[in-house]
Chains A and B, each alone.
Chain A
Amino acid sequence: MSDLSTTRTFAPRVIHAWSREAIGLQLEGTTNTAYVAVSATNVWPTANLALLVPFYTTGDLTVARMWVNNGTTPASSWDIGIYTPAGTLVVSSGATVASGSAAVQEFNVTGTRLGAGRDFYLALMNTGNTGQVAGAALTNLQFSRLMGCQQVATAGTLVTGATLASCTFAIMPLFGLTTRAT
């Protein structure tokens, strides 16, 4: 095969659940709108249940920080991280108190390189079931399954070797990673 087939692209500085490298286009295709509406009142459905959203790296990148867009009334603690498709935890913030009404809350994580052309999951977990997160309300929880999302039961922090299970989330939060340190 010719070298002409080799494709190199850069990774974006920010990848989040709604990015095209994740499930952004599918989200638009299944929420019946070309511009997905953001609600700030999505309640985390189950305490200690982690949502995993697939994404693809189009280029090498180093994760510097992660973030979640809190809802109007954040509560309990977040743990946010990245998993491999096999359920290995690559990096995470550890449990951190949710704070900042309707604000983007950032989390320092150990700088972690993700190689190009790989599959990963963004993971987000809340220790309670009353806190609110900004995101989309799905018209049918089957859509989260359809988009390849998974979930993981935890005991309060993202587990190192996770058993991925069929997704039951009917919300799609805004959360992700950034390569920027500030």
Chain B
Amino acid sequence: MGLLNEIAPWPAGGPTVHVASPESLGDTLRGAAFASAAWSAISRIFLMPFELTRPYLVAQLFLFNGAAVSGNVDVGIYTDQLQRIASSGSTVQAGVNVLQLFNVTEFTLNPGQYYLAAVANNTTGTSTRANVGAARQKIAGVLQLNSTFPLPASASAAVQSTIAYLPMVGFTKLTTL
């Protein structure tokens, strides 16, 4: 049980939490270039770490689509032990150059460490992604899991990422974003 006067340290989980926010890889992505590009491989899952210092009620997940959309995508959240907590499920990618929102049954993440996850089932559809280089990904603790769609219940087979970019994926407590 928390203390009544307990104050969560910054970053405490703002209206949105995503790959470039301070709860996730904001420090690592400083100066990274975001641009539209195709998914790097069919059914390749990216897992990006983030942490929360206070409870967070998740209302929606989102993916920043790029200049072309195709096929299906799945976005979700995993525990630090790579067990799936929630996901959109396989969903048609829709909307060019916009945030595609995925309504999920609201759930609470307690303070702790987690992973954002995203996957596409084709390499025609694009996302708005940050080019960060494989080295920075390793430093940041990004993981990947190949040839898996949709997001599995367990991603424990994921390995250190060797891919040079990160899709812009996140979640929000807002019902209007």
Contact A7 B64 (CB under 8 A): no
Chain B residue numbers with a CB within 8 Å of A33 are 31
Give 1 or 0 for each of B131-166: 1 = CB within 8 Å of chain A CB: 000000000000000000000000000000000000
Whole-angstrom distance between the Cβ of A114 and the nearest chain B Cβ: 13
Partner-contacting stretch, out of B3-11, B43-51, B76-84, B113-121: B3-11
Contact A85 B176 (CB under 8 A): no
Whole-angstrom distance between the Cβ of A160 and the nearest chain B Cβ: 19
- Which of the residues A6, A21, A145 comes within 8 Å of B10, measured between beta carbons? A21
Tell me if A20 is interfacial: C-beta within 8 Å of chain B.
yes
Task: Tell me the total A-B contact number using a CB cutoff of 8 A.
Answer: 108
Tell me if A150 is interfacial: C-beta within 8 Å of chain B.
yes
Chain A residue numbers with a CB within 8 Å of B1 are 1
Tell me if A147 is interfacial: C-beta within 8 Å of chain B.
yes
Tell me if B29 is interfacial: C-beta within 8 Å of chain A.
yes
Interface residues of A toward B: which range?
35 or more
Main SS of the interface on chain B? loop
Chain B residue numbers with a CB within 8 Å of A20 are 10, 22
Contact A1 B20 (CB under 8 A): no
- Bound complex: CA A101 to CA B54 (Å): 42
Main SS of the interface on chain A? loop
Tell me if B92 is interfacial: C-beta within 8 Å of chain A.
no
Contact B32 A29 (CB under 8 A): yes
Q: Could you write out 26 A-B pairs with CB less than 8 Å apart? A: A1-B2, A5-B2, A6-B3, A6-B6, A7-B8, A20-B10, A26-B26, A28-B26, A28-B30, A29-B130, A30-B34, A32-B31, A34-B30, A34-B31, A59-B7, A116-B7, A117-B54, A139-B34, A140-B34, A140-B128, A142-B64, A145-B99, A146-B18, A148-B15, A165-B176, A166-B177
Contact residues of B with A, CB < 8 Å? Answer: 1-3, 5-12, 14-16, 18, 20-22, 25-27, 29-34, 54, 64, 97-99, 128, 130, 168, 170, 172, 174, 176-177
